[in-house]
Chain A
Amino acid sequence: MDTTSDFEALVARYYALLYQFAFGLTRVEADACDLTQQTFLIWASKGHQLRDPSKVKTWLFTTLHRQFLESQRRSKRFVHEEIGTIEHALPTVSSGVVERVDGSKVLEALGRVDPIYRAAVSLFYLEDWSYQEISEILDVPLGTVKSRISRGVHQLQKMLTEGSTGGRREIGEM
């Protein structure tokens, strides 16, 4: 980064998007703040090494994701699960579910999506990233991105659907 004002403009442009991605991964505000801040700190020291300015956004998201994985390894809470096949039938989506979906329900459901799918699903919904871009950010092959999105979205929808049909307790009932 050349100047302080460039850095500040970069922060202003991307901090909210990065925070959304971080919150989707961690679901904890404080951790999401830390990840976002850490990402810009790394940019401040290493960003000048990036030669293609059009890749800044991808670089930031990639860095944040790596930081997240690193923090998960440190805490040893990240369970790396094998990608299985979709075992159950696809959920039936009723219109009532759609009307009742809000941010808290989405986050609640996302928190129960297998961790290995969570990042791909977050990127899929948060920004209009192409599969290629998601593949670069997560550093996984294109085919893996597609399967993670399919399975992650399937899990997410299943949870939202089950939540609406009495399969589990509704938050609003508490």
Chain B
Amino acid sequence: MTTEEAKEALLRYRPGRPSGEDPLVEEAKAACERDEALRAWFEEHCRLQVSVRDGFRSILPPAGLKEQIISERRAALYTEKAGGWKRSRVVQFTGVALLTLVVWGVMSQRWGGGGEETSLAGYRKRMVGFALRTYSMELKTSKIEDIRQHLARRSFPSTFRLPPSVLEVPVVGCGSTRWQDAKVSMICFLRGEQPLASGVESDLWMFVMDGPNMKGRPRDQEIVVEKVNRLWTATWEKDGKLYLLATPGEEADLRRWL
């Protein structure tokens, strides 16, 4: 086994896992004992493997995904049951009434029930978390039109109107997420006034969602400014869309873009 062959086999080595299922890896590990340079390469490779593995495992599902999966299953089950009760008119009416109650319950829990997760505060928290968390832009571009086209193709809000001051900030790309079944577009800008941490690609984010009837949403002409985590946020509604602008720094940093 040559050094290059040994390295190729060792690419499949997973630190902490028995490699008995792969005889070539075992052979390559044995070669490390005889070759100092190969052993040094292997040690660094192991460190990188651990680091990459941890990077993979740091991916976190968005809040509410589990609940969404379960609630949709429950709704489907209720629908199936309702379908089986059609023999009797009385039972049918009961089924409809129950279904209505369930739908009402789900809707009130989502939009009006008062839990923070379904209110504007919950939405802000989620979006700030999305911006601060490790995300990847779906599209990196400096052209806002490219972003609109990309979002429109994926049926995410794309006809947003950005404040003129925000339009002066270089756009760097876009992403998307969901909140309570609604599609949310994320447009990323780069103020570039402060050095960014490793892995951070933008420092001003605009989230746009077709305006839901959520608790605590801004009134007409109102801009709600709140600090969430380490970002300052401004939220407003315009033409049936909910806009959320977020940026790090001081409140004054945010107000410059409003």
Contact = CB atoms under 8 A, between A and B. Distances in A.
Given A30-B183, A105-B199, A128-B17, A19 B65 contact: yes
Given A90-B8, A105-B55, A160-B52, 11 more contacts: A23-B59, A37-B65, A40-B73, A90-B11, A93-B45, A98-B44, A101-B52, A124-B12, A125-B52, A171-B198, A174-B190
Interface in A112-164: 122, 124-126, 128, 130-132, 146, 149-150, 153-154, 156-157, 160
A59 interface: no
B65 A149 contact: no
Contact of A98 (B7, B48, B56, B70): B48
Most B-side CB within 10 Å, residue of A41, A160, A172:
A172
Interface in A64-109: 86, 89-90, 92-95, 97-98, 100-108
A172 B199 contact: yes
A150 B198 contact: no
Contacts of A100: 198
16 contacts: A4-B74, A11-B66, A15-B66, A20-B56, A24-B56, A27-B136, A28-B136, A40-B73, A41-B76, A101-B48, A126-B56, A126-B57, A130-B21, A131-B21, A149-B12, A174-B190
Residue among A24, A102, A103, A156 with max Cβ neighbours from chain B (10 Å): A103
Contacts of A56: none
B77 to A, nearest CB: 7
B172 A101 contact: no
Contacts of A128: 14, 17
Contacts of A125: 52-53, 56-57
Given A93-B45, A97-B48, A150-B11, A36 B65 contact: yes
B139 to A, nearest CB: 10
Contact of B199 (A4, A104, A150, A153): A104
B-side interface mostly: mixed
B196 A174 contact: yes
A89 B183 CA distance: 44
A163 B134 CA distance: 18
A153 B12 contact: yes
B72 interface: yes
A50 interface: no
Contacts of A11: 66, 69-70, 73
B107 interface: no
Contacts of A16: 60-61
A36 B47 contact: no
Contacts of B58: 102-103
B51 interface: yes
B258 interface: no
Nearest to A102: B199
Interface in A17-38: 19-20, 23-24, 27-30, 32-33, 36-37
B68 interface: yes
Given A98-B51, A103-B59, A30 B196 contact: no
A101 B7 contact: no
Nearest to A154: B11
Contact of A150 (B12, B68, B197): B12
A106 B52 contact: yes
B95 interface: no
Contacts of B114: none
A32 B178 CA distance: 11
B150 to A, nearest CB: 11
A27 B56 CA distance: 12
Interface string B32-57: 00000000010011011001110111
* Most chain A beta-carbon contacts within 10 A, residue among B44, B65, B138: B65
Contacts of B251: none
The 3 A-B residue pairs with the shortest CB-CB distance, nearest first, are A106-B55, A104-B199, A172-B198
